[in-house]
Amino acid sequence: MSSEESAPWSGSGDQGSTPRWEALDPQVDSQRSGAAPPGGRVPGEKDPGAKARVADRAVPWRRVILLAALAPLAQGLFYLARAFPSVTERFYARGFYPRLAALEARLQVPGPFSLAEGVLLLAGLWVLWSLLRAGREILSGRRGLGNALLRGAAFCAAVAGVLVALFQLTFGLNHARQPLAKLLGLEVSPLTPSDLAELTSALGDAAALQREASRAGDGSGSDAELRLAWRRAGERYPFLAGPWVRARGALASPWLTRAGLAGIYFPFTGEPHVNTQVPPFALAYTEAHEQAHQRGIAREDEAGFAAWLVCQLSPDPAVRYSGSLLALSYALVALQQASPRLFRKRYQALPDAVRGDLEELWSFWIKGRTTLSKVAGQSNDLFLRSQGQRGGVKSYGRMLDLLQAWRLTRGCLALLGDSPLQDF
């Protein structure tokens, strides 16, 4: 190729001439003429086949950050309240919270389900509808997956912040109030195996007598009898006073069984719920336990003790038996771990009827063990520890320390027959 000859993709010797490769390109030719290339479109013109992502939304970061920040602020308030339990007791536990509980009690609605269940149902339906809408927009190409995930994460962070703040204000700060032992004037100390054996024996004697006096071991009782027991407790111990709120049978009781829960308290509406599938002799104690939360007794061991105490103040021996039997169950489990020999001795000394009820109770929970119950137990353990209950789920059994202190101080663990109420 000579020096004067040009390649077809290069310009000719004349600097003002058109490069040959441009002359061969219909796209370039169309740009000059303004006409669309064959089968194409004018440059700059939007492709009518392309779908714009019109559903993408910007994340309101300022609002999200402000709402999400409520969580650490509320938790910081909790730690501050825990540092001053006497102040928390006076201004929150006996000041603000009783007024809030009274308001929540007036908002209770009659019907087959509680206000809490209605709120959760509507929230679940809204979340499901939002997920379906976002999925449809993503599949249609109108919304990017990244945008949907980002907004979803931001929304969850904001909601979490609001819920944590509401929880602490409506109930959680009760975890920072003065210990129940101090309010009752009890000296609590760790239990030795011999202490556990003595406590188990005393509870077994009380349960045996109460079961014999009850209606064939049915400890379900009635709302009227439990309501009277709470009134007696409130008159004797003002920190247990409060509005009566009936514990509702949870519509999700089968799921509570799978989660290993006998009851649940919903703090945002102030409603206690019980698992209706538990054996009937466990219902009264379970209801009283959740009602103790509703009256501001937040720690699990203290709520368990308050439930036992209220059951003993009932005029119905079946309700008393429910409290004694559940306390006996906790004691036997603790004794088995501390001394299997003493456990066998105390367990065999129980009447056949009481042993039968215990075996029915334990069998119920063993059959209900699932993966969900393990996850729920671990979640509950983390939650309790975050609220200052160092033992986590083990704190349920620490009611035994309070029971032993009560037994040593008061000298009795049950109201039998016409026992005077001043013993309690």
pLDDT of residue 161: 96
Which of 176, 200, 219 is at the close of a domain?
Answer: 176
Secondary structure (DSSP) of 223-246: HHHHHHHHHHHHHH-GGG-----P
- Alpha helices (runs of H) in 171-299, residue ranges in sequence order: 180-184, 193-213, 223-236, 253-258, 283-294
pLDDT of residue 337: 87
pLDDT of residue 48: 47
Res. 13: pLDDT tops 60:
no
Q: pLDDT tens digit string along 247-282? A: 999 999 999 998 889 999 999 999 999 999 999 999
Within a domain: residue 306? yes
**pLDDT-based confidence at residue 414 (cuts at 50, 70, 90):** low
Q: What is the average pLDDT across 393-400?
A: 64
* Average pLDDT score over the chain: 82
Q: pLDDT tens digit string along 374-394? A: 566 566 566 556 666 565 545
CA pair distance 307, 284, nearest whole angstrom: 9
pLDDT of residue 74: 96
Res. 411: pLDDT tops 80:
no
Q: 191 and 145, same structural domain?
A: no
Q: 228 and 188, same structural domain?
A: yes
Within a domain: residue 315? yes
**Residue 261 in contact with residue 273, Cβ under 8 Å?**
no
Q: pLDDT tens digit string along 130-176? A: 999 999 988 988 889 998 999 999 999 999 999 999 999 999 999 99
**Residue 290 in contact with residue 261, Cβ under 8 Å?**
no
Q: How much of the chain exceeds pLDDT 90, in percent?
A: 58
* Amino acid, res. 401: D
pLDDT of residue 260: 87
Range of the domain at 265: 181-423
Which of 176, 209, 224 is at the close of a domain?
Answer: 176
* Amino acid, res. 358: L
Q: pLDDT tens digit string along 82-130? A: 999 999 999 999 999 999 999 999 988 777 788 999 999 999 999 999 9
Q: 295 and 187, same structural domain?
A: yes
**pLDDT-based confidence at residue 18 (cuts at 50, 70, 90):** very low
CA pair distance 129, 135, nearest whole angstrom: 10
Of the two residues 292 and 29, the one the predictor is more confident about is: 292
pTM of the predicted model as reported, rounded to 2 decimal places:
0.81
pLDDT of residue 213: 85
Q: 341 and 234, same structural domain?
A: yes
